[in-house]
Structure 1
Amino acid sequence: MNSTANTGATNAGDGPKGRMPAGAAVPTVDVDRSDPPYRAWLKEAVRKVQADANRSADTHLLRFPLPDEWGVDLYLKDESTHPTGSLKHRLARSLFLYGLCNGWVRPEAPVVEASSGSTAVSEAYFAKLVGVPFIAVMPRTTSREKCRLIEFHGGQCHFVDDSRKIYEEAAALAARSGGHYMDQFTYAERATDWRGNNNIAESIHHQLRLERHPEPAWIVATAGTGGTSATIARYVRYMQHDTRVCVADPENSCFFDGWKDRDPAASSERGSRIEGIGRPRMEPSFVTGAIDRMMKVPDAASVAAVRALEAAIGRKAGGSTGTGLWAALKIVAEMADQGRAGSVVTLICDPGDRYLDKYYSDAWLAEQGLDITPYAMAISRFLATGRWPD
């Protein structure tokens, strides 16, 4: 997987300005958006993206086995069954529709994205679908499998050594190539229709309608851009549900501190080891006011939880799933201890086969200095007794 610095595209990027580095040379081309060939291309591109949603927007809601007598049911929304294998398929679809309808995504002009991997895989898929080049700007530590999938879908990988530099490098690369910087971290929360239209929150509530607790007490999400938690939280308020939203945050992420301290300038000096979630800065799409609760989850606990998930339902999942599952199990324990019946929902964000050399590797855990034993024991004791260890 070679680092790529340029493409041969000549069309001007005319998305939101103000995010390009000072002095960046932006190619300028006068594009006539009333031109019949362009409008014909746009109609076909939007049709293809909407057809993908029609085929694959809904995903399964799986039950995590818990004793019925606890009175609490735990579900996992399996987003790994999307065509590109992750929760980010929904986001990428929304971002492409947003970019197309705004006139930012155009024929031949590359789409550039800053990503830790899964969003880039999904955006590469949609770029190929509508026929535009795609370049992913990612930390060099991104899993090899994610890089392979980006290239499988026709995208190119451009690596940076410091994960905090992906934003400015993506913007600069878009400027140099005449492309469009998709900027998921700014536009995730506004590109998705949070009022319905089969978004993830509406799907969860629809799929629970015949369960014994059809309105979930809690939905637990994790945050990379913050777009998913914003969509869920806005939807439940708009629909006047009593559902609460909890965001689980990994180590080396500033979201928890920024939310707790109401500090939009919160930051982290290190990048998250849990790919796809946790950020070194407070992202524009992370809507703190819509979130009811946050939990800080140790990385070792996240890994222990995904391994417990495999033991419980026979499915491997990525580390971000473990972060959310750990928080969901703690909420289940609280509800059971207080005698409160209800349902809790969290997400399977992506499949574990992308991380066999990380979260399922004991050598990687040793290299990172992570001991999952006490967390694995805590989960086992809880599932056996119904009480969370002190």
Structure 2
Amino acid sequence: MSEWVSSAIRVLEADANRSADTHLHLFPLPAEWGIDLYLKDESVHPTGSLKHRLARSLILYGLVNGLIDENTTLVESSSGSTAVSEAYFARILGLKFITVIPRSTSQEKIDLIEFYGGHCHLVDRAEDISPEARRLAAGCYGHYLDQFTFAERATDWRGNNNIAESVFSQLAQERHPIPRWIVVGAGTGGTSATFGRYVRYRRHATQVAVVDPEGSAFYAAWKGDTEATGQPSRIEGIGRPRVEPSFVPSVIDEMIAVPDAASVAAIRLLRERTLHLAGGSTGTNLYGAFELIGRMRDAGETGSVVTLICDSGIRYTQTYYSDEWVTSQGLDLAPHRQRMIDFLAGGAWG
């Protein structure tokens, strides 16, 4: 191993020591339910999202496999948070970074990627981002990080940079230290694979639920259609038009399809009830968590449920928090908002 690679690994591990453990917040539920809902706030990472962990793991994976050296250009196919985080790590390692993104990507995200020194290569069709990233990497002494293939294997589900281990450690002094459910979305499938494998490895009586937005192929794949296709998701960071190699259905206990309007209504309600400003995928998580808590109440169960604040809502002021954007998308938030309000007031989830 070269001196440069050794130094690069040390730099990434130092970042993990500074930033790996994030806060675990309680969401206010009626005390008489005997159920606690926790939100692990991944938005407080240096690059503002859950993908900070993934980006570090993908680059470490490339380093230890001899695929990255001091002259390598890092290449990714990502329109958002993963690319932001990878650009950050590329900058601190002194490497060039290129991400292939759809032309429709928000200017806020492009600005963040470029702030960290990354270059955005635009394509017209979302389905072209992976083939174009492979082509670019082959032509520029590049390494294609390929989050959609390597997310589930780059993160060590037994310990290294493990979000699951962090959650269980933080719950150790709570009244329900072993959660009944963990609720996450799937963009690559890496987070659900990490949690699913970890709870089995530790022999916990915890089940993992994945929430999926409209148009995504993952829900149908979990139901058994491994050739399922869909459309790009309006809920950035989760959902895919195809079943990605990193998605592992066998470690998932439940999947819940969540309407996009419900995801947007949920983050607005989260803001009102907790002051946390979160992105759309957090709303998908929260709505799914409410459904599972409703099932627990119906069954007379007590316990805890854990989900994630995936990124900050500051990136979505022109979309999910804009009434004009909501109207332009034809989304009706009102029935989903009312359902959640009635539920949190003690009503049934229905």
| Alpha-carbon distance, 1:46 to partner | 0.6
Gaps of 5+ in 1: 1-33
Does residue 228 of structure 2 align to residue 266 of structure 1? yes
Partner of 1:48: 11
- For the pair 1:306 / 2:267, whether they are aligned, the reply is yes
One of 130, 149, 155 as aligned partner of 1:192? 155
Counterpart for residue 116 of structure 1: 79
Are 2:53 and 2:161, in contact at CA under 8 Å, matched by a contact in 1?
Answer: no
User: Which residue in 1 is equivalent to 2:276?
Assistant: 315
Give the 5 Å matches for 1:45-194: 45-194=8-157
Confirm whether residue 279 of structure 1 aligns to residue 237 of structure 2.
Answer: no
Contact 1:217 1:343 in 2 (8 A): yes
Q: Deviations over 1:124-157 (max 9, x none)?
A: 0111111110011112222221111111111011
Alpha-carbon displacement from aligned partner over 1:280-339 (angstroms, at most 9, x marks no partner): 111111000000000000000000000011011101100000011100011111111221
Question: Structure 1, residues 360-380: CA drift from partner, whole Å, max 9, x if none?
Answer: 011111111111111011111
Please tell me whether the aligned partners of residues 193 and 199 of structure 1 are also in contact (alpha carbons under 8 angstroms): yes
Asked if 1:240 is matched to 2:199, the reply is no
Q: AA paired with 1:292?
A: D
Alignment-mate amino acid for residue 65 of structure 2: N
TM-score normalised per structure 1: 0.88
What is the SS of the residue equivalent to 2:272?
A: helix
Instruction: Show structure 2 runs of 5+ residues with no match.
Output: none
Paired with 2:332 and 2:73, the residues of 1 have a C-alpha distance of: 43
Matched, 1:325 2:286: yes
State which drifts further: 197-206 or 147-156.
197-206
Aligned residue number for residue 382 of structure 1 = 343
1:161 CA displacement:
1.8
Match of 1:354 in 2: 315
CA distance in 2, matches of 1:337, 1:284: 36
Partner of residue 254, structure 2 = 293
Q: Count matched residues.
A: 350
Q: SS of the residue aligned with 1:211?
A: coil
Shift of 1:113: 0.2
Task: Please tell me whether the aligned partners of residues 30 and 346 of structure 2 are also in contact (alpha carbons under 8 angstroms).
Answer: no
- Contact 1:336–1:386 under 8 Å retained in 2: no
Q: Structure 1 runs of 4+ off > 6 angstroms? A: none
Give the distance between the partners of 1:286 and 1:251, measured in 2 at CA: 17
Contact 1:233 1:245 in 2 (8 A): yes
Separation (CA, whole Å) in 2 of partners of 1:202 and 1:294: 22
- Matched to 1:296, the amino acid is A
Give the conservation status (yes or no) of the 8 Å contact 2:181–2:208. yes
Provide the C-alpha distance between the structure 2 equivalents of 1:369 and 1:335, rounded to a whole number of angstroms. 33
SS at match of 1:108: coil
Query: 1:198, CA displacement in angstroms?
Result: 4.7
- Per the alignment, residue 215 of structure 1 pairs with 178
Contact 1:215 1:343 in 2 (8 A): yes
Task: Note if contact 2:262-2:287 (Cα within 8 Å) is conserved in structure 1.
Answer: yes
Q: Is the 8 A contact 1:71 1:336 kept in 2?
A: no
